[in-house]
């Protein structure tokens, strides 16, 4: 295994994380053992974070003890890999769907660094107990994605904190060319953030771009 970033490994063109719970799968991913350790394959077609790594992501803010607010956690595919990485941190995973949250709760019962929150990312006032975080990760299919990120960053993101957002062009405007949509979103975000990276992940998830941002002082 070659370590690309802290907690992210590569072998034979596949991406892996070190399994927080050896022997346990989360979504049917492949488990690989090497030198007495077990790794979980990280699927770029099921995770926009992994897709961005495959497409050349350079910025990696995740550390062992990072505190993360994850907006749009769904069933916890990407959340589970962040859990593998930030083993001594906290991942506050916000999901709006009561049906989906059950799987997230089951995941959190096994992985104590995941805190599931049934909530609406458009209403950060409903989960103020989260407090200040090092990283905000957003993956929500809403037309006001940038506004959602800004609201949450104002409330929760530490000074010089990092935000990551998967921008879905079709959720924002189905008529405009995706690049026009991305340009508009970046323009909205620039008031509050410095844009560090823009990674096109269209080959893994059509109509998506992955942005890495740094909160302005």
CATH code of the domain covering residue 116? 3.40.50.150
Query: Torsion over CA of 126, 106, 74 and 53, rounded to 10 degrees?
Result: 120
Tens of pLDDT along 90-104?
Answer: 999 999 999 999 999
Inter-CA distances, 106 with 27, 66, 135, 211, Å: 13, 22, 24, 30
Q: Give 156's pLDDT tier (boundaries 50, 70, 90).
A: very high
Q: Is residue 24 a part of any domain in this protein?
A: no
User: Residue 21's CB: how many other CB atoms inside 10 A?
Assistant: 15
Q: Is residue 31 a part of any domain in this protein?
A: no
Q: Is residue 15 a part of any domain in this protein?
A: no
Q: How many domains does the chain divide into?
A: 1
Q: Give 192's pLDDT tier (boundaries 50, 70, 90).
A: very high
Residue 180: the pLDDT is: 85
Q: Is residue 35 a part of any domain in this protein?
A: no
Residue 143: the pLDDT is: 84
pLDDT at 19 over 90: yes
Domain residue limits at 79: 43-215
Q: Is residue 32 a part of any domain in this protein?
A: no
Q: Is residue 12 a part of any domain in this protein?
A: no
Mean pLDDT on 79-85? 98
Q: Give 135's pLDDT tier (boundaries 50, 70, 90).
A: very high
Contacts of 136 (CB under 8 A, 6+ apart): 68, 69, 70, 71, 149, 152, 153, 156, 157, 161, 162, 163, 164
Q: In terms of residues, how long is the chain?
A: 217
Mean pLDDT on 143-148? 92
Q: Is residue 13 a part of any domain in this protein?
A: no
pLDDT at 172 over 80: no
């Amino acid at each position: 295994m070659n370590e690309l970033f802290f907690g992210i490994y590569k072998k034979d063109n596949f991406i892996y994380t070190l399994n927080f719970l050896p022997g346990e799968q989360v979504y049917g991913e492949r488990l690989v053992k090497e030198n007495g350790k077990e790794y979980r394959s990280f699927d770029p077609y099921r995770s926009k974070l992994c897709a961005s790594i495959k497409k050349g992501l350079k910025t990696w803010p995740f550390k062992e003890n990072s505190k993360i607010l994850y907006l749009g956690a769904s069933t916890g595919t990407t959340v589970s890999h962040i859990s593998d990485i930030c083993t001594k941190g906290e991942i506050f995973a916000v999901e709006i769907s009561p049906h989906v949250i059950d799987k997230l709760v089951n995941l959190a019962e096994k992985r104590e660094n995941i805190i599931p929150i049934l909530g609406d990312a458009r209403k950060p006032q409903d989960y103020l107990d989260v407090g200040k975080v090092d990283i905000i990760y957003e993956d929500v299919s809403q037309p006001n994605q940038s506004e959602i990120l800004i609201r949450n960053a104002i409330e929760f993101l530490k000074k010089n904190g990092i935000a990551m957002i998967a921008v879905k062009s079709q959720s924002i405007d189905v008529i405009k060319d995706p690049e026009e949509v991305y340009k508009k979103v970046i323009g909205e975000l620039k008031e509050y953030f410095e844009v560090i990276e823009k990674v096109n992940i269209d080959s893994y998830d059509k109509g998506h771009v992955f942005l890495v941002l740094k909160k302005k002082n």
